[in-house]
Structure 1
Amino acid sequence: MRYPAWKYVLIIFVLIISTLYALPSLYPDEPAVQISGAKAGTTIDQSILQKAEQILKNDNIVSHDNSFTNNAALIRLGNSTTQLKAQDALRRGLGDNYVVALNLAPTTPEWLQKIGAKPMKLGLDLRGGVHFLLEVDMDKALSQRMETSSTDLRRQFRDNNIKFNNLSLNNNVITVAFANNTDRDSAMSFLRRNSADFTQQALVNADGPIVQLTYTDARRQEIQSYAVNQNLTTLRNRINELGVAEAVVQSEGNNRIVVELPGVQDTAEAKRVLGRTANLEFRLVADQNDQYINSYTGKYNEQPIPAGTEVFAYQSLDSGRQLLLQRNRILTGERVQNASSGLSQDSGGAEVNITLDSAGGKLMSDATRRAVGKRMAVLFIENKQKISYVTDPTTNVQTEVRTPYTESVVINAATIQQVLGSQFRITGLSSPQEAAELSLMLRSGALAAPMYFVEERVVGPSLGQENIDKGILSTEVGFILVAIWMVVFFRLFGLIANFALVFNLAMILTFMSWIGASLSLPGIAGIVITIAIAVDANVLICERIREEMRWGASPKQAIVAGYDRAYNTIFDSNLTTFIVAFILFALGTGPIKGFAVTLMIGIVCSMFTAITVTRAIVQLIYGKRRNLTKLSM
């Protein structure tokens, strides 16, 4: 009986690592409130923490061990009830410039945190999580699509030599004015042949014949359905970018989306990124910009602007500078295929590298070919909500009022030096954090319509604490009974197998913490099955050793043969189970994925503990004995 020294080193190393990184799961997190900036580049300093502490003190809310983490203030509280009261008080006191989100503060000892050890997350059914309800702005979805349609119609009429005097959009109605009825009839005939999206109404006003175009009911429903589905896809992509495991994103009704983040309450970044309905528009700076914008102050000089142009803030809302842009868009963020952030080699400032799809590249190329020497602006459009509180004078009860509004800022305006294609970069961003967040939103896909938070609440364990306790208790009882059975039937070998089982559990906890997986009740079921699989492997080994001894082999020969000959059977059975678990992970969602992840990790760990670890312990006990005649089994 010989065993390589490197395997002992490997086992000791894995045992130490597994023990250290499984320890944080013994330290439960405590309720907290996290304060971060509404924008990625906002800095949280000591003054904000002091202001927050004063707000809580005024409301008789006790906090403790407050600290900074990742440019955010973390305020620890005694229980969940106090946590909700503190969130409400801080939201009122700090205003809209800060995100006040529910969180869980770790209680893991500092020396464990320094080596990156953190507790395993629990799913919605075990601990709960955070529930968001977002409402899609369908009116905005229709108006945005109508703007695109009006631009397309103007281009189609010109490309097909259809004469018209004016084309305008108002209240989701496109009005096209013509010089005579012949031109109007020609345009209506063209629309009937080439577009089934509009209902047409021929009218006459003071200026002559017109036609009014509105979307058909079928087209409206199609746009609304697309808006919800596109926003669902974008939210899933953004959540994947954030690294939240086993999140639930699903539609509710015709215009609402439910987002549930299991096992975590740190919603500050998630809320900012998920709720930030931002998009980009690429427009040309109007040729009349210098006539209407003061070159010294950079401000609009309050005279009527030319038709087809708009004035926007330049660089920031607070800068006081403005730019006059053409109303027509070259393209929007919907055409962005990929985006990454970095630092400019020229200026050292933050930048976002953009890759457009083929259609977007053609639009950009066509627009810049005709505009070399002119300036192109990147307009950043963000839809937000302003939260205010109205007090009822009769009941003295405050009601939260949410008012949507839009912020539009030109973040960059540069001269077009050459024809641009599908790849270019955006500079002029205020910080690397803002560049990273913008690239994340563009990379994960554009939202088809703005969304607003209708509800945010903490979700309690869906199964009830009593059912959870019973589930955990049944796992513990099952483990103890299996351990007793192994000792009774296999004596010392059973005791060794039990040690391997404990080792196996520690490894599972460590791996799940590393990958950020959430443990749910189906995950516990996966752990129970893993225990059965690991025990089954040791039973096969022990029975094989007994069989070898019945056939006349010496104890040492039986040990070597038992492990060697049982290996193929154990490997085959575990491989087939792993394949099934992988299929469940690939095709399943939510709880099924949680079960599959736990089972796959458990299978890999059980192969290591049931074969390698137990073999090493048996070698230490029996390997040095010269006159070995009997095994304790």
Structure 2
Amino acid sequence: MLQIPLWKRIMIWGVCALGILFSMPNLFYDRVERHNDARAAVEAGMATPDQVADELALWPDFLPSALVNLGLDLRGGAHLLAEVRVSDVYADRIDGMWPDVRDALRDERETVGNVRRIPSEPGELRVQVSNTDAVGRAAQIVRDLSQPTQTVTGFGTARDLDVRVDGAEIIVTLSDAERQATDERTMRQSLEIIRRRVDEAGTREPTIQRQGADRILIQVPGIGSAGELKDLIGTTARLTFHPVIGTTSDGDQAPEPRQLIHPSLDEPGRYYILEQQPVVTGDQLVDAQPAFDQNNRPAVNFRFNPAGGRAFGQYTAANIGNPFAIVLDGEVISAPVIQAHISGGAGIITGRFTVEETTQLAVLLRSGALPAEMDFLEERTVGPELGQDSIDAGRTAAMVAFAAVLLFMLLTYGGFGVIANIALLLNVSMIFALLSAIGATLTLPGIAGIVLTIGMAVDATVLIFERIREEMRTAKGPARAIQQGYEKALSAILDANITTLITALILFAMGSGPVRGFAVTLGLGIITSVFTALFVTRLMVVIYFERARPKTLLA
């Protein structure tokens, strides 16, 4: 009745052994972390094995080295809440429509007359035609330029442009459906670019999540300050190449229509007058790397995709001897004179850069330009000392809870309490093993989930042991009592843990940040608790019964 096949015993002990093995690196956290950092530096080519030999020797390579990642509240780091200016994208999108609208109407010049763009509000394009009788025909030509709205799942039935007539003027704006789709694309693109920038900086387990319609939560453990994080992700890094019309020393000078005035980064007090329409943009960049120019000064090499390289090559071939401006986020960082045709789509950005600035600029350009500016509504720096205090407090809470549960089980169930306590130790080790294996991030709420799991873990064991006591009172004998105790407690154990697991899944799906951390540890704790209660304790009880052959149990 109590026989457990050998293969099943091997599997149960094997799972327990793996749990101990994979959780063990967390007992030597600092040493393993230094070993992992050194190994990552060697794999990335940033160091040789000889240079980091001491760190590599801190932990054997044949042992698992995955660690539980510590969250912002445990490691310290930076917290930002940013609001994306999605309305800026509307203005850029509509402004970019002007060349297409102008060319389409010029093809019908005999009908609509002369075409002129007139000043308008941001996000709105106003076009005037000289033949007022043909303004309806002109509006239809512009409507024909509209495309189906592109949503996340595909193309919708609505059109992307809203075209209306006001006297002799045609007013073009984005449709409501296109604005909603643009908002979604802008937020998704912003999230992805921020994630790329943070990942390239080598930080550990950042939390980057959308909150509400236009806000992004960014938490990066291990970074020095919120200001450092803002410098990394707050720059739009919008790179454009513009023809130069002239220069001026008057920064307050109003630009002519279809022109821009941007300050020089290298020469304070000097401003460049540029054509508004860029030749190429940073969106067409495929690579950017820090380098040095021919004078051994820090610079950034860049390379365009085929379309950008073709446009860049055609422009340089037609404008030899003329200057062009490289503009980064509204500042002219360089304005070289074109000496020859630049083919191949590659070039170099020079300026008064430091090595650190070229490295950061290359990261920003590689990850792409943010589609819109961001306003930082909340910023907070969590010091490493506070993180260590949190770790100490969480460790103390876990140890107190652990000791109290161990003592209670030992006093209440005697020898069976020892079995329950061993199962509890294995349970906690398996939780940490799973957290390490999946690369989960442990936060203060996550520690709370582990503490709660410690209390819940013995619940199933208590149910089983109390059922065994009840069966012993019916004089069925120890073997029968053990079998009936496990079988009759099974339904209650599954019901209680499945409902709690469903709650953890809902918390994970609907929550964010700390709530998810709590849900992860709670969910994993439920799984390991059921395994240790139904399999590990049963195997240990059976082994005890086979060896001792007791006449009574849990008297």
Specify the alignment match of 1:125 in structure 2: 73
Q: Counterparts of 1:314 and 1:474 in 2: how far apart (Å)?
A: 52
Pairing 1:555–2:478 present: yes
Pairing 1:4–2:5 present: yes
Segment of structure 1 superposing worse, 592-601 or 125-134: 125-134
Over residues 538-561 of structure 1, what are the superposed CA-to-partner deviations in whole Å (9 max), with x where a residue is unaligned? 111111111111100212222222
Specify the alignment match of 1:580 in structure 2: 503
Secondary structure in 2 matching 1:27:
helix
Q: Counterparts of 1:403 and 1:106 in 2: how far apart (Å)?
A: 44
Cα deviation, residue 533, structure 1: 2.1
Report 1:539-618 matches (<5 A): 539-618=462-541
Secondary structure in 2 matching 1:260:
strand
Check conservation: 1:314, 1:410, Cα contact below 8 A. no
Report 1:160-199 matches (<5 A): 163-166=112-115, 176=127, 178-183=129-134, 187=138
Cα deviation, residue 125, structure 1: 2.2
State the identity %: 32
Q: Counterparts of 1:496 and 1:5 in 2: how far apart (Å)?
A: 20
Q: Residue 271 and residue 594 in structure 1: after superposition, are their counterparts in 2 closer, same or farther (change >3 A)?
A: farther
Q: Residue 246 and residue 256 in structure 1: after superposition, are their counterparts in 2 closer, same or farther (change >3 A)?
A: closer
Specify the alignment match of 1:515 in structure 2: 438
Specify the alignment match of 2:14 in structure 1: 13
Instruction: Output the amino acid matched with 1:492.
Output: G
Pairing 1:232–2:187 present: yes
Check conservation: 1:125, 1:462, Cα contact below 8 A. no
Q: Residue 123 and residue 149 in structure 1: after superposition, are their counterparts in 2 closer, same or farther (change >3 A)?
A: same
Q: Counterparts of 1:134 and 1:22 in 2: how far apart (Å)?
A: 36
Over residues 134-169 of structure 1, what are the superposed CA-to-partner deviations in whole Å (9 max), with x where a residue is unaligned? 686779635521333325534764799862434569
Check conservation: 1:262, 1:518, Cα contact below 8 A. no
Specify the alignment match of 1:249 in structure 2: 209
Structure 2 unpaired stretches of 5+: 49-53, 147-160, 241-275, 288-300, 315-325, 336-341, 347-362
Cα deviation, residue 523, structure 1: 1.4
Check conservation: 1:500, 1:609, Cα contact below 8 A. yes
Check conservation: 2:238, 2:329, Cα contact below 8 A. no
Specify the alignment match of 2:383 in structure 1: 460
Q: Which has the higher helix share?
A: 2
Secondary structure in 2 matching 1:126:
helix
Check conservation: 2:32, 2:59, Cα contact below 8 A. no
Q: Residue 108 and residue 120 in structure 1: after superposition, are their counterparts in 2 closer, same or farther (change >3 A)?
A: farther
Check conservation: 1:2, 1:623, Cα contact below 8 A. no
Cα deviation, residue 571, structure 1: 1.6
Which one of 128, 137, 145 corresponds to residue 93 of structure 2?
A: 145
Report 1:427-438 matches (<5 A): none
Cα deviation, residue 234, structure 1: 2.8
Cα deviation, residue 23, structure 1: 1.8
Instruction: Output the amino acid matched with 1:567.
Output: L
Secondary structure in 1 matching 2:372:
coil
| TM-score between both structures, scaled by the size of structure 2 | 0.60
Q: Residue 547 and residue 265 in structure 1: after superposition, are their counterparts in 2 closer, same or farther (change >3 A)?
A: farther
Secondary structure in 2 matching 1:473:
helix
Q: Counterparts of 1:482 and 1:264 in 2: how far apart (Å)?
A: 38
Q: Residue 569 and residue 384 in structure 1: after superposition, are their counterparts in 2 closer, same or farther (change >3 A)?
A: farther
Structure 1 unpaired stretches of 5+: 34-63, 76-104, 203-210, 281-306, 328-381, 387-401, 414-436
Q: Residue 403 and residue 497 in structure 1: after superposition, are their counterparts in 2 closer, same or farther (change >3 A)?
A: farther
Specify the alignment match of 1:476 in structure 2: 399
Cα deviation, residue 457, structure 1: 8.0
Secondary structure in 2 matching 1:125:
helix
Q: Residue 608 and residue 314 in structure 1: after superposition, are their counterparts in 2 closer, same or farther (change >3 A)?
A: closer
Check conservation: 2:236, 2:372, Cα contact below 8 A. no
Which one of 499, 512, 516 corresponds to residue 422 of structure 2?
A: 499
Q: Residue 214 and residue 575 in structure 1: after superposition, are their counterparts in 2 closer, same or farther (change >3 A)?
A: closer
Instruction: Output the amino acid matched with 1:629.
Output: K
Which one of 233, 238, 259 corresponds to residue 218 of structure 2?
A: 259
Which one of 533, 542, 552 corresponds to residue 630 of structure 1?
A: 552
Q: CA RMSD in A?
A: 5.7
Instruction: Output the amino acid matched with 1:122.
Output: L
Check conservation: 2:77, 2:225, Cα contact below 8 A. no
Over residues 158-199 of structure 1, what are the superposed CA-to-partner deviations in whole Å (9 max), with x where a residue is unaligned? 799862434569997857564545456864799899976789
Q: Counterparts of 1:469 and 1:603 in 2: how far apart (Å)?
A: 25
Q: Counterparts of 1:130 and 1:198 in 2: how far apart (Å)?
A: 48
Q: Residue 167 and residue 454 in structure 1: after superposition, are their counterparts in 2 closer, same or farther (change >3 A)?
A: farther
Q: Residue 384 and residue 512 in structure 1: after superposition, are their counterparts in 2 closer, same or farther (change >3 A)?
A: farther
Q: Counterparts of 2:118 and 2:17 in 1: how far apart (Å)?
A: 69
Check conservation: 1:228, 1:251, Cα contact below 8 A. no
| TM-score between both structures, scaled by the size of structure 1 | 0.54
Specify the alignment match of 2:44 in structure 1: 71
Check conservation: 2:77, 2:222, Cα contact below 8 A. yes
Q: Counterparts of 2:172 and 2:86 in 1: how far apart (Å)?
A: 16
Over residues 225-278 of structure 1, what are the superposed CA-to-partner deviations in whole Å (9 max), with x where a residue is unaligned? 9877644333445678869868243579x9985521357889999998997868
Specify the alignment match of 2:359 in structure 1: none
Cα deviation, residue 606, structure 1: 0.7
Segment of structure 1 superposing worse, 451-460 or 495-504: 451-460
Instruction: Output the amino acid matched with 1:546.
Output: R
Q: Counterparts of 2:91 and 2:31 in 1: how far apart (Å)?
A: 45
Q: Counterparts of 1:476 and 1:403 in 2: how far apart (Å)?
A: 59
Q: Counterparts of 2:183 and 2:233 in 1: how far apart (Å)?
A: 17
Q: Residue 484 and residue 310 in structure 1: after superposition, are their counterparts in 2 closer, same or farther (change >3 A)?
A: closer
Q: Counterparts of 1:136 and 1:410 in 2: how far apart (Å)?
A: 37
Cα deviation, residue 459, structure 1: 3.2
Q: Residue 227 and residue 526 in structure 1: after superposition, are their counterparts in 2 closer, same or farther (change >3 A)?
A: same
Specify the alignment match of 1:489 in structure 2: 412
Q: Counterparts of 1:187 and 1:121 in 2: how far apart (Å)?
A: 61
Q: Residue 571 and residue 28 in structure 1: after superposition, are their counterparts in 2 closer, same or farther (change >3 A)?
A: same
Check conservation: 1:315, 1:411, Cα contact below 8 A. no
Q: Counterparts of 2:16 and 2:435 in 1: how far apart (Å)?
A: 16
Q: Counterparts of 1:450 and 1:404 in 2: how far apart (Å)?
A: 19
Secondary structure in 2 matching 1:259:
strand
Instruction: Output the amino acid matched with 1:582.
Output: L
Specify the alignment match of 1:110 in structure 2: 59
Q: Which has the higher strand share?
A: 1
Report 1:387-406 matches (<5 A): none
Report 1:73-88 matches (<5 A): 73=46
